[in-house]
Homo-oligomer: A and B are copies of this chain.
Amino acid sequence: MNQPIQIYNTLSRTKEKFQPINPPFVGMYVCGPTVYGEPHLGHARPAITFDLIFRYLKYAGYKVRYVRNITDVGHLENDADEGEDKIEKKARLEKLEPMEVAQFYTNSYHEAMRLLNVLPPSIEPKASGHIIEQMDIVKKILDAGFAYISNGSVYFNVKKYSETHQYGKLSGRVLDDLLANTRELDGQDEKQNPYDFALWKKASPEHIMRWKSPWSDGFPGWHLECSAMSAKYLGEHFDIHGGGMDLMFPHHESEIAQSVAANRVEPCNYWVHNNMITINGQKMGKSLNNFINLAEFFSGKHPLLTQAYSPMTIRFFILQAHYRGTLDFSNEALQAAEKAYKRLLTAYNILLKIVPAQQTDAELAQFIPAFAAKCHEAMNDDFNSPILIANLFETTRWINGLNENKFSINKTDLDAFTHTFHTFMFDILGLTNETAADTTLTTEGLMDLILSIRQQAKTNKDFATSDKIRDELKKLNITIKDTKDGATWNME
């Protein structure tokens, strides 16, 4: 890996050369799910984006410690530190202990990630498991003078911080504009300023998830957990912080402020954000009736879906767009992705069956190293998976030509070709060879063959064969039904 990797840094709005603080080690922190509902596309996209980055950095020789958290406390219903805790609200509605709700949806999330072939992160810490570390940061920020206590809660003093630092540097927001555009605080508000954010919230009497603290029995503010857990497992200053673009403000902006106030250092060198998804051109939302969770995509059981889409189709679809572009889900687009993914798999499976010759054609001999170089180039250019996929498609004319004996290839070149294809398709894009692995498809193929032989036997009045087929299939729990349009089969 001599070519450097370029990463688009949200902080500088430019692509920068990736230089880890302490190579070959890389520390990467990514905001994980708030576990109060079934995992959906808004979870799949960041998970797959940072899985791609995790896989490529490891491939490039780095030793990556990848931390992705579980938010199981402190994420209130709106970002202004008001409303119920999302998990407690769900628990109240379902009459469960909040941690039972968090566990249930954590399990759902893990299962969806497993199906999407997303590698587990190196460490997956929970917010509720790091209360001590969060309280320590509150103390540091109070000591540094960037926070104040108000009625048992502790708020970050954004105005004070902005006198010496730039709150808004990540999201590009300007504090004066923010202040000008917001409602006046009424006298009841604990905050000195509407843009202050909670570091510690005093719990109301009915609030279940609470811990003792020097300020009140309460719970940490949502932004705090990521500052605490990233510092604990990656150090106060690490390499990459990722998440969805919707987290840039106020979540990540506040993380920077917390780290600078507490540790006098920004948390990371590179801020990486994946863009949002839409469904049929609309923002996804429960009120819009277009909220499709991942299990529904996999089963096809949702009124907006015309069919089921396999986890690999979803993964391929997400990777077909660059992570910084928006992505619109529709049946048409997913069906196109399904076809494209299968076409690529077919090409790969044909490549596996090519028999090497003595010689490689000159043009092909040039193509193979150029193909590898272009794949690396695409990934080095801010993890450009759509260009990488386009490069993989470039191979199909060669593979088909080889299959039709239009070209020849020797063993060394064939091995190199196969190795590059395999590495980028499976190890880096993280796709799986669903065709080969998909025994359902195999069963369907074998049944097509058997039914066609049976039809031929019936036409030939060879009833010994057609009866044998029926009887043997029955032993396998497969029943045949003859219809006007030919035979159908069913497995119990």
Q: Is the CB of B476 within 8 A of A212?
A: no
Contacting chain B: which of A121-129, A336-344, A358-366, A418-426?
A: A121-129
Q: Is the CB of B449 within 8 A of A472?
A: yes
Q: A439-B439, A453-B453, A492-B349 are in contact. Are A103 and B128 (CB under 8 A)?
A: no
Give which listed residue, B128, B443, B456, contacts A446 with CB less than 8 A. B443
Count chain A residues whose beta carbon lies closer than 8 angstroms to a beta carbon of B: 51
Q: Is the CB of A492 within 8 A of B436?
A: yes
Q: Please name the 3 residue pairs, one residue from A and one from B, whose CB atoms are nearest each other, closest first.
A: A129-B129, A439-B439, A445-B476
Complex Cα distance, B372 from A92, in Å, reads 38
Would you give the 0/1 interface string for A105-146, flagging 1 where the beta carbon is closer than 8 Å to chain B? 001001000000000111111101111100000000000000
**A135 nearest in chain B by CB position:** B132
- Indicate if A490 sits at the interface (CB-CB under 8 A): no
Q: Which of A95-110 contact B (CB under 8 A)?
A: 97, 99-100, 103-104, 107, 110
Question: Given the complex, which residues of B lie within 8 Å of A452, measured CB to CB?
Answer: 468
Give which listed residue, B100, B130, B465, contacts A129 with CB less than 8 A. B130
Residues of A within 8 A of B (CB): 65, 97, 99-100, 103-104, 107, 110, 120-126, 128-132, 211-212, 233, 349, 352-353, 436, 439-440, 442-443, 445-450, 452-453, 456, 465, 468-469, 472-473, 475-478, 491-492
Q: Is the CB of A122 within 8 A of B103?
A: yes
Give which listed residue, B132, B440, B468, B476, contacts A132 with CB less than 8 A. B132
Q: A100-B122, A439-B439, A442-B476 are in contact. List 14 more A-B contacts (CB 8 A).
A: A97-B122, A97-B233, A103-B124, A126-B126, A131-B132, A132-B211, A349-B492, A352-B492, A439-B440, A442-B478, A446-B446, A446-B476, A449-B468, A453-B465
**Could you list some 15 contacts between A and B, CB below 8 A?**
A99-B233, A100-B123, A103-B120, A104-B122, A110-B110, A132-B132, A353-B477, A439-B439, A442-B443, A442-B478, A443-B446, A446-B476, A452-B468, A453-B465, A456-B465
Question: Given the complex, which residues of B lie within 8 Å of A442, measured CB to CB?
Answer: 439, 443, 476, 478, 491
